[in-house]
Amino acid sequence: MKTYIIGNWKMNFTVGESSLFLHKLLQRVRSYRDIEVVVSPSLMALQSLSLQTDRRKIKLATQNFYHRDFGAFTGEVSIAQLRSLVDYAIVGHSERRYIFNESDKDIRAKVAAALRNGLTPILCIGETDSERTFGETADVLRDQLLGGLSEVSAEEVSKCIIAYEPVWAISGHDKAAKVASPLDVKDAFALIRKILKETYGKETAEDTPLLFGGSVKSINAESYLLLEDCNGLLIGGASLIASEFTDIIEIAKRVKDANAQH
């Protein structure tokens, strides 16, 4: 399986700045067959960046979309309208769940819409700080995972990517965001694989990529990538710094090569 290094730019950069930043990345990023590099700019920049990017090096993801394909939905953009621009779609990000009140129902409809339109959904799941404190992590992960996948056929589950992003570890809103220890992430990954295995079988569980996201930087990327179950990273703040993002890609390649030798 490839290792996924995905940059979520969130609501940063103007269209012009996005283009300049992509230009910088395209000059610096080396393409490796076993590392999939993806960036997710704002919706506004997707059209121009899709023409600018070299998809063999850097693919694009949308940060959001509406689950219906066409119709009277003022102000919305559908995945059917975006499908020629992107290869991936982020779904269920905690910022959409908690700031924009997206429900599990919205999220499962989006996962299904992405697959229906031939794109790979990146389903984000993760517990909040208080859920963690009250020992609810396992229940939250189970509910968000199975809730998000409930309109997907068992055969299609491995076409989705699952990103574990504990809300307490995401920088940006919570100034006191903590850094997740590799052990925290290892336990969550083990649980997610177990739920996938019990629900969809061993093969699907093993074939579904699991990513980690939350305050990932070049200094800690390796500690997560070394985890047996880790198939990549979803990066926010550090993906806005070209040297950080490209360093993380190189770290992922080193870990991949080292694993291949064992």
In the complex, least distance from residue 10 CB atom to ligand 13P, rounded to whole angstroms: 7
**Do 86 and 41 meet the contact criterion of CB atoms below 8 Å apart?**
no
Q: Compute the C-alpha angle 34/36/42, nearest 5°.
A: 175
Active site residue 67: no
Q: Which tokens hold the place of 41?
A: 């700019």
Please name the residues in contact with 41: beta carbons below 8 A apart, sequence gap of 6 or more.
9, 13, 18, 22, 49, 60
Please give the Cα distance from 181 to 106 (Å, whole number): 31
Given candidates 121, 126, 209, 236, which one binds ligand 13P under the rule CB under 6 A? 236
Tokens describing residue 64: 């959001």
- Identify the residue among 170, 195, 251, 252 touching ligand 13P (CB under 6 A): 170
Q: Which is nearer to ligand 13P, 113 or 177 (CB)?
A: 177
- List the structure tokens of 197: 């295995």
Position closest to ligand 13P via CB: 236
Angle at 156 between CA 94 and CA 78, to 5 degrees: 55
Nearer to ligand 13P, 93 or 186 (CB): 93
The full DSSP string for 39-98 is EE--HHHHHHHHHHS-TTT-EEEES--BSSSSSS-TT--BHHHHTTT-SEEEES-HHHHH
User: Which of 152, 233 has the CB closer to ligand 13P?
Assistant: 233
Contact segment (CB under 6 A) with ligand 13P among 14-22, 53-61, 183-191, 208-216 equals: 208-216
- Choosing from 93, 102, 127, 244, the catalytic residue is 93
| From candidates 31, 48, 50, 171, binder to ligand 13P by CB under 6 A | 171
**Which residues lie across from 122 on neighbouring strands?**
90, 161
Residue ranges in 77-106 that form contacts with ligand 13P under rule CB under 6 A: 93
Binds ligand 13P (CB under 6 A): choice among 62, 64, 158, 215 = 215
Q: Which span sits near ligand 13P by CB under 6 A: 14-22, 134-142, 210-218, 224-232?
A: 210-218
**Catalytic residue status for 131:** no
Query: Among 18, 213, 225, 246, which residue sits at the site for ligand 13P (rule: CB under 6 A)?
Result: 213
Contact residues toward ligand 13P (CB under 6 A) are 8, 93, 165, 170-172, 213-216, 234-238
Q: What amino acid positions are annotated as catalytic residues?
A: 93, 165
